[in-house]
Chain A
Amino acid sequence: MHRVLGLCLVVLLALPFATTAQERGVTAEEVVVGSSMPLSGPAAYWGAVGRAMEAYARYLNDQGGVHGRRLRVVLRDDGYLPPRAAANVRELVERVGVFAIVGLIGTANAFAVRDYIVRNEVVWITPTADASMWYGFRDKKYLFVTYPSYVEEAKILVDYAAKQLGVRTVAVFYQNDLYGQKGLLGAKQGAVRSRVRIVAQVPYEVTQADVSSEAVKLRESRAEAVLLYATPRHGALIVREMAKVGYTPKLLSSFTLGDPIMFALAGEAWNGVISTAFFPLPGMGDSKVDEALAVLTRVDPALRTNPYNALAGWAFMEPFVEGLRRAGRDLTKERFVQAMETIRNWDGQVIRGVTFGPDRRQGIHRVYLTRAEGGRYTKLTDWISYPTGF
Chain B
Amino acid sequence: MSLLLQYVANGLAAGSLYALVALGVVLLYRSSRVLNFAHGDLATLGVFVAFTALARGWPYPVALGAGLVGTALVSAAFYRLLIKPVRQATALSLVITTLGFALLLSGLMVWIWGTDTKVFPFPLSEVRVYRLGGVVVSELSAGSLAVGLLLVAALSLVVQKTRLGLAMRAVAQNPVAAQLLGVPAGRVLAATWAVAGGLGAAAGMLLAPAVLLDPFMMLDPFLKGFAAAVLGGMDSLPGAVLGGVVLGVAESVFAGYVSVKYKATLAFVVIVAVLLAKPEGLLGRPFHRRV
Interface residues of A (CB under 8 A from B): 40-45, 176, 202-203, 205, 207-210, 212-214, 216-217, 220, 232-233, 236-237, 240, 243-246, 261, 264-265, 267, 269, 305-306
How distant is B269 from chain A, measured CB to nearest CB, in Å?
16
Q: Is the CB of B220 within 8 A of A209?
A: yes
When chains A and B are docked, how far (Å) is the Cα of A240 from the Cα of B255? Answer: 19
Per the bound structure, the CA–CA distance linking A202 and B7 in Å amounts to 16
- Assess whether B220 is in contact with A207, with CB atoms less than 8 Å apart: yes
How many angstroms from the CA of A306 to the CA of B214 in the assembled complex?
A: 15
A306 to B220, CA, bound (A): 25
CB-contacts of B96-123 with A (<8 A): 107, 110, 114-117, 119
Instruction: Report B-chain residues with C-beta under 8 Å of the C-beta of A244.
Output: 126-127, 129, 136, 138
Residues of chain B in range 203-227 having any CB-CB distance to chain A below 8 Å: 207, 210-212, 214, 216-221
Assess the A261–B260 pair: CB atoms within 8 A.
no
A261–B116 touching, CB < 8 Å? yes
The answer to whether B214 touches A233 (Cβ under 8 A) is yes
Looking at the assembled complex, report how far the CB atom of A362 sits from the nearest CB atom of chain B, in whole angstroms: 31
A207, A233, A236, A305: most-surrounded residue (chain B CB, <10 A): A233
In the bound complex, CA of A209 to CA of B206 (Å): 13
Once A209-B211, A216-B6 are accepted as A-B contacts, the answer to whether A233 and B260 lie under 8 Å apart by CB is no
**Are B260 and A210 in contact, with the CB atoms below 8 A?**
no
Say what secondary structure dominates the interface of chain B: helix
Docked-complex contact B220 and A44, CB < 8 angstroms: no
Cβ-defined contact, B116 with A306, below 8 A: yes
Check if B14 sits within 8 Å of A246, measured CB to CB.
no
**Contact status B116-A305, CB under 8 Å:** yes
Contact, CB under 8 Å: B252 / A240: no
Chain A residues with CB under 8 Å of B220's CB are 207-210
Q: Is the CB of A265 within 8 A of B119?
A: yes
Query: Any chain A CB within 8 A of the CB of B82?
Result: no
Taken together as a complex, chains A and B put the C-alpha atoms of A106 and B37 apart, in Å, by 29
Report the minimal beta-carbon distance from B180 to chain A, rounded to whole angstroms.
45
CA distance A265 to B116 in the complex (A): 11
- Complex contacts, B114 vs chain A, CB 8 Å: 44, 305
B273 within 8 A of A: no
The winner among A40, A42, A44, A244 for most chain B CB atoms within 10 A is: A244
Name the residue of chain A whose CB is nearest to the CB of B222.
A209
Contact A209-B127, Cβ < 8 Å, known A217-B260, A220-B3: no
Partner among A202, A205, A212, A240 whose Cβ is within 8 Å of the Cβ of B264:
A205
Does residue B263 face the partner (Cβ distance < 8 Å to A)? yes
Is B256 part of the contact surface with A, judged by Cβ < 8 Å?
yes
A236 touches B117 (CB 8 A): yes
**Contact A265/B260 with A207-B220, A213-B252, A244-B138 known, Cβ cut-off 8 Å:** no
A44 near B110: Cβ-Cβ < 8 Å:
yes
> Using Cβ atoms and an 8 Å threshold, which residues of chain A touch B129?
244, 246
**CB of B261 within 8 A of chain A?**
yes
Chain B residues with Cβ below 8 Å from A265 are: 117, 119, 212
B192 within 8 Å of A by Cβ? no
Q: Which 6 A-B pairs have the closest CB atoms?
A: A213-B255, A44-B115, A209-B211, A212-B10, A233-B117, A209-B220
Q: Mark B3-40, 1 if CB is under 8 A from A, else 0.
A: 10011001001100000000000000000000000000
